[in-house]
Structure 1
């Protein structure tokens, strides 16, 4: 009988070892999961609407263009070029696209037509450059305060994402027409176009026979800024 009891007695040392092993495996699994959240799953992009609907364009704006808020934020409001706002640093002509999606009466007490006509491209008068020191829109208190309210609003992020996506439509269409249909290739196209413009992107890609990796390599050599942008693309949209 005593022998039987000994055989039925739980082996607590063995049980604890098993539990410890399971706990360690769980930690490893969670670490892998957390690491993977920094990477965007690979997927072929069918067109502009697909790029927007899947959240790819928004991801590129936040992860690559702003480097997760390290270089730009949704609440930026600075005097550069007579007034620059938001995560995409909308300025001069870009402000008109933003006004078209905003309730300008609510934030500025002026119509969209008036804001577009007088407070977008005219924010930087001919011959002026750099920070507004009295010649641009930023130096006007009502304009600056209106944007502060908008940038702090609940709708601001959604509108900024939408406007930037609309501005990037031509680039996405061109890139896909050239066979750039992976998430990484779209990120390369938008990353370059955002700093060099659509024509600048096309010229650089054309000079590299529309090879996305060669184009990115060429772009990355231009400055420390372009090098950091390539690093962001490599981190979030790996090969």
Structure 2
């Protein structure tokens, strides 16, 4: 009697082997956009936020790194370019006493938005946080610490929460759609993202196209989204 079960099992094993080889060689890709989410908590608990942060915003370390600390806007830090008000999201998760010898409340109140006082823009030339050695040294110690990656990931995700929840409300449930939403919001803010989304009828691809325009930096972000979360 012909062993149909054995034959089918052998074919299945061969298909699996070929698939594994193609994946290993880059000849076959998994559609990352096929992963969908029904809530912020579900999205936050997946690996997708870290993929967006590293592959899209940082472009695999080409544009941003976890350990960067530089003078722009009075002090800019880490993988998400935390600066000005964004620094507060880091302070709330950090052991600020350990790195700065100051309480979280003190750091949030006096060394976040106030790092860029008045109309100052560009690199800190003595008016911001970066110019203060204790702040700069403490932040450099933090970004090189073992806990830094996790804290930066969490801080960025919390910053993006309003955008993610808004996108989910309008049916943007797959990985690509949420990569577009957060990629745009990280550049123009949550309000800017909402404005674009309203203008283009909450259609993710049109929002991305409208955001990019002819801007070279934004084209690189679009290309990073396409590479990490293909159509």
Confirm or deny a common fold (TM above 0.5). yes
Q: Over aligned residue pairs, what C-alpha RMSD do you find?
A: 1.8
Name the count of aligned residue pairs: 215
Q: Whose radius of gyration is greater, 1 or 2?
A: 1
- Mark the runs of 5 or more structure 2 residues left unpaired by the alignment: 1-16
1:91 maps to 83
2:23 maps to 32
Distance 1:46 1:227 in 2: 29
- Mark the runs of 5 or more structure 1 residues left unpaired by the alignment: 1-25
1:32 positional shift: 2.9
1:215 maps to 207
Tell me whether 1:49 sits opposite 2:41 in the alignment.
Answer: yes
Q: Is the 8 A contact 1:38 1:236 kept in 2?
A: no
Q: Is the 8 A contact 1:39 1:235 kept in 2?
A: no
1:222 positional shift: 4.2
With normalisation by structure 1, the TM-score equals 0.85
1:97 positional shift: 1.1
Tell me whether 1:224 sits opposite 2:216 in the alignment.
Answer: yes
Tell me whether 1:131 sits opposite 2:123 in the alignment.
Answer: yes
Q: Is the 8 A contact 2:96 2:102 kept in 1?
A: yes
Distance 2:186 2:64 in 1: 13
Tell me whether 1:144 sits opposite 2:136 in the alignment.
Answer: yes
Distance 2:31 2:91 in 1: 33
- Say which of 147, 156, 160 aligns to 2:148: 156
1:209 positional shift: 0.7
With normalisation by structure 2, the TM-score equals 0.88
Q: Cα deviations across residues 192-211 of structure 1 (Å, max 9, x unaligned)? A: 00000001101111111111
